[in-house]
Amino acid sequence: MSDSTETTTASERAIKQQKPSSLTRSLKTPADEALRLYEHYWPPVEHFEGFDPELTDFMAATPEKQQAILEGLRHDPEAHGRFLHGHLGSIYAHSFGYRDGAFTRHTDDTAEIAQFAAKIALERELFDHWAALGDLPTFTDQTEAANHLDELAATNPGVVHPLFDFIRDEASREQIERFLLCETIRNEVVDDEVALLVVGLQGMMKAVAAANLWDECGRGKLENFHTYWLRRLLEATEDGWNTLDRYRVGHPWFGKLTSNTNAALLTRPARKMMAYGCFLVFESWVEPHFVRILDGMTRVGLLDDEKRIYFTAHVAIDPRHSRELSDGMRMQRPRLAPDEINDIVYGAHLASETGRRQFDRMLGFLRAIPTENAA
């Protein structure tokens, strides 16, 4: 007997695969608890109230004056980093369309042009000076490059950074609770970051990124949106929503390094392949980091599953994501050109170095928190 596929047309096979809705089981009113948590705007940020005066002055400056300001900061790494990442973070709120962005509910052509020009100047400074990398390996074959990225994903400095050993072995409950606020801010918009990554990719790489986004969006089930698990964490924390709101005001600039670097790649089309490599390394961190975070939470008595679900679920999910991203590169058609391959490699190494710098600073930040109950 011949295979049944031999008697069907390409159209019939396509319809059979596509006709059933992916939302058949999930497109229904969620439980009351989910509806209540979805009443909160996400990410939980306040409405835009105006730019920092320093950024306002920078946007109003001529390109020559902007360049002089940035050159004058390079001798002071702390001031340089604070200026770049503090102001880029404000601009990216607009790029992502959140309510703390300047022009997300109205348009202002003149002001938006000035903001975009400032974004370009700040990003050029970021890549040419603050985040400049040394020599990197180069590849002409996408499979060889993917093999290199698998090795980098397993061995880059962020994977087993001392910050996460500190969380596991030493941090007090107060220090861990502060770190959970940092992690909420670092992860609160991953779904939109992945959505931006999908745009402009082709073939298997687009399929892999889209599948990752589908997971981020709970595969259509509101209660399994990954950001919903963060809502549950905040809800289970005493005065969690207000605590995050207060903490965000003083969230240190170095807590934004990986998010800002990723946004800088995602919001310029020429850097899209770099963003793919960057995200691959980010995904490689999740399991080793979250296992240590969970161990630390257990050690200090943070046992409520509502507070742990974001981390427990990702320990199971994200190793697959990292492998799929490298496999998507291997199987990509049309084949990647050498410059595209090396952009991906650059993005991966940029993520590795940026993560190391962020985690170094965050470790010092947490150690400096006064506590009476350190382990």
CATH number at residue 236: 1.20.910.10
- What pLDDT shows up at residue 170? 98
341 and 200 both lie in a single domain: yes
Q: How confident is the model at residue 252 (pLDDT cuts 50, 70, 90)?
A: very high
Q: Which domain holds residue 335?
A: 142-367
Q: Do 289 and 173 share a domain, yes or no?
A: yes
Same domain, 229 and 89: no
Percent of the chain with pLDDT over 70: 97
SS3 per residue for 58-124:
HHHCCHHHHHHHHHHHCCCHHHHHHHHHHHHHHHHHHHHCCCCCCCCCCCCHHHHHHHHHHHHHHHH
Q: What is the pLDDT of residues 124-163, one digit of tens each?
A: 999 999 999 999 999 999 999 999 999 999 999 999 999 9
Residue 102 has pLDDT above 80, yes or no: yes
Taking phi over 0 as left and psi of -120 to 50 as alpha, with beta for the rest, 356 belongs to alpha
Domain count, the chain: 2
Q: What is the pLDDT of residues 352-361, one digit of tens each?
A: 999 999 999 9
Q: Are residues 78 and 180 in the same domain?
A: no
Q: What is the dihedral of CA 266, 269, 272, 275, to 10 degrees?
A: -20
Alpha-carbon distance of 196 to 190, in angstroms, equals: 10
Confidence (pLDDT) at 330 = 98
pLDDT at residue 24 is higher than 80: no
- Mean pLDDT for the stretch of residues 24-42: 88
| Tens of pLDDT, residues 112-131 | 999 999 999 999 999 999 99
If asked whether residues 118 and 239 sit together in one domain, one would say no
Query: Is 174 inside any structural domain?
Result: yes
Q: Could you tell me how many residues make up the chain? A: 375
Task: Mark which of 130, 157, 186 sits at the end of a domain.
Answer: 130
- Same domain, yes or no, for 120 and 160? no
Rounded CA separation 100/89 (Å): 10
Question: CA 43, CA 269: separation in Å to the nearest integer?
Answer: 25
Residue where one domain finishes, among candidates 61, 96, 130: 130
At CA 153, angle to CA 96 and CA 149, rounded to 5?
95
**Same-domain status, 289 and 325:** yes
* In a domain? residue 202: yes
Residue 279 carries which side chain, given as an amino acid letter? F
Q: What is the mean pLDDT of residues 298-324?
A: 94
Q: Are 256 and 89 in contact (CB under 8 A)?
A: yes
- Measuring CA to CA, which residue among 188, 210, 177 is closest to residue 100? 188
